[in-house]
Every structure is written in C-alpha cells, then in structure tokens.
Amino acid sequence: MLNGVLVALVTPFKDGQVDEEALRELIEFQIENGVSGLVPCGTTGESATLSHDEHKRVIEITVDAAKKRVPVVAGAGSNNTAEAIDLTRFAKDVGADAALHITPYYNKPTQEGIFRHFQAICQKAPLPIVVYNIQGRTGINITPETMARITELPEVVAIKEASGSLGQMASMVNLCGDNAALFAGDDGLTLPVLAIGGKGVISVLANLLPKKMSQLVKAWQDGNVAEAQKRANELTPLCNAMFIETNPIPVKTAVAMAGIIPNSDMRLPLCEMQPANKEKLVKILKDHSIIS
C-alpha cells in the first residue's frame, strides 16, 4: 500500500490562517514531481499549533486535492487516546487512506501503555495505521519488542522510525517481518534504511525537492545501487540543512525562497530563522542551484 517517498507536507499560512490555495498548489507540485504519498498534519505541518477544526480541514483539503492519485496518510496523533481515535475516524470519513500516529508525548506511558494506545485506536477507528516513533520529540521510545507487538495489530501497516538508530531499525525489520513496512523518518538515513529492508522515507526535504528524493528511492528499488549512493551523497548537505533549526523552520523557509509557497509564515512558538542560520541555508540552496 505504502512505498517510496511520502512527503510530510508543510502547512502554508496567510494572514494567520491556513492558506488553502497555497496548500492545494503545493500538493499538485508534489504529485507532479513523483511523490508516492502525502502526509498532512504531522510535525512538519505544524499540527501542534493547528486548531482541531483547522487540523481536520487540512486533512480534508489534502484528500480532495489528491483525488486518489496517491495515498493520503493523515496525521492523527495525540497523547490523548480518545482524541487520536476521533481524528482517525474523521480521516477515514473524509477518505484518507491511512493515519499517522505519533507515540503519546509528555505523559510518557510505559511500553504496555503505548501498546494499549495503538490497540484502542485500531479497535475503535479501523483505518490503516502508520506508527511514528520519534523519541526526541516525545520523550519515550518504542522498543523493537513493543513495536513487534503493535505491528501484529492488523490495521498497522507501516512504521515511521526517527530514533536515528539503525541498529534499532534493523531489529524492528527482523522482529516485525512482513507485518509492517519500515520508513525512514530522517531524510539523511533514507539510503541506509532502504539497505536494511526499509520501503522508503517520510520526507521533509521532499517539500523542496520531491523529484530528487523520488529519484533516489527509485534508483535503489531498480537495483541501481551506485546511482542511489550518488544521489544520496548529493542530497546530504540539503538533508542536514533542513535541521539546522527546529523542523519545519528551515524547510518552510527554503520552500518559500524557492517560490513553491508564497511565504514562510509560522505560528508561535515557532518563528523565523536566526540570521546566521538563514545565511547558511541560503548558501547551501545557492550551491545546489535551487535559488539564484
């Protein structure tokens, strides 16, 4: 069902509100340039500062704009299990193909609590689920053993792994088997994750370079290892640049500079890039002929 490059969409704003027209144009740009799926309302989409109504509207727009050309994996995660169930039901009702669920954050559940969280979502809002493990954001890691339990739930089809540990990811591939596809949660680890049996990446950089990210993954999938290595090495400075400040600040800035969205407006507590970091970003974008 899910494979290749799924873009973790930024959410454009205009005058403090979701810019629906710019969002639709961004989605069209992504599909035209070869992405395999759309992921609205994740970390990169600033879901933490969207109201519930806005969150649902962004999912709705994405499903409508995609027109079933590529799968939509709607961000529906919450540290409140009941809220996660509500968002997943909404995503299903409006036609999303799957839902992305981050590990519950701040309340730091035990491994058993994490399992029960996902079990409840699967039981009460049956829709294909992508489990998102990112300890740096949540304060809690899903162990490979717990992930193996979670992926036995039939609704769980994929894992977005952003722990940064290839050893942990390899353990998940071994323990989860064919129950769930592994996706890199860091652009810079796309090729290593493919090499250990992963199926692709849920990508921040694809907002800016959907075609190049898609070409990297396709080269690997076609068995052209040298080409995949070459493309991965070329993209490494850009992958790193997307995280010189908190995501999505750099990518939103870069996408606006490239004219893909009208501006880089963000909602507090996120703010514009610090001048020194912005200079670094501009240099990297110029070095790669993305801006002049």
CB 157 within 8 A of CB 128: yes
H or E element in which residue 134 lies: none
**In this structure, is the dihedral angle defined by the CA atoms of residues 46, 70, 132 and 188, taken in order, positive or negative?**
negative
Residue 249 is labelled as binding a ligand: no
**Residues assigned a catalytic role:** 132, 160
Residue 253 is labelled as binding a ligand: no
CB 161 within 8 A of CB 183: yes
pTM for the predicted model, two decimal places: 0.96
What integer pLDDT is reported at residue 1 of this predicted model? 79
Cα 238 to its chain centre, rounded Å, is 17
Assigned token pair, 5: 């490059």
What integer pLDDT is reported at residue 259 of this predicted model? 97
Question: What are the pLDDT tens digits along the chain (292 aa)?
Answer: 799 999 999 999 999 999 999 999 999 999 999 999 999 999 999 999 999 999 999 999 999 999 999 999 999 999 999 999 999 999 999 999 999 999 999 999 999 999 999 999 999 999 999 999 999 889 999 999 999 999 999 999 999 999 988 999 999 999 998 899 999 999 999 999 999 999 999 999 999 999 999 999 999 999 999 999 999 999 999 999 999 999 999 999 999 999 999 999 999 999 999 999 999 999 999 999 999 9
What integer pLDDT is reported at residue 239 of this predicted model? 97
What integer pLDDT is reported at residue 177 of this predicted model? 85
Domains of the chain: 4-223 (3.20.20.70)
DSSP 8-state assignment for residue 266: -
Provide the residue count of the chain. 292
**What's the CA gap between 141 and 103, in Å, rounded?**
8
**What's the CA gap between 175 and 75, in Å, rounded?**
25
Residue ranges of E strands in 28-94: 37-39, 73-75
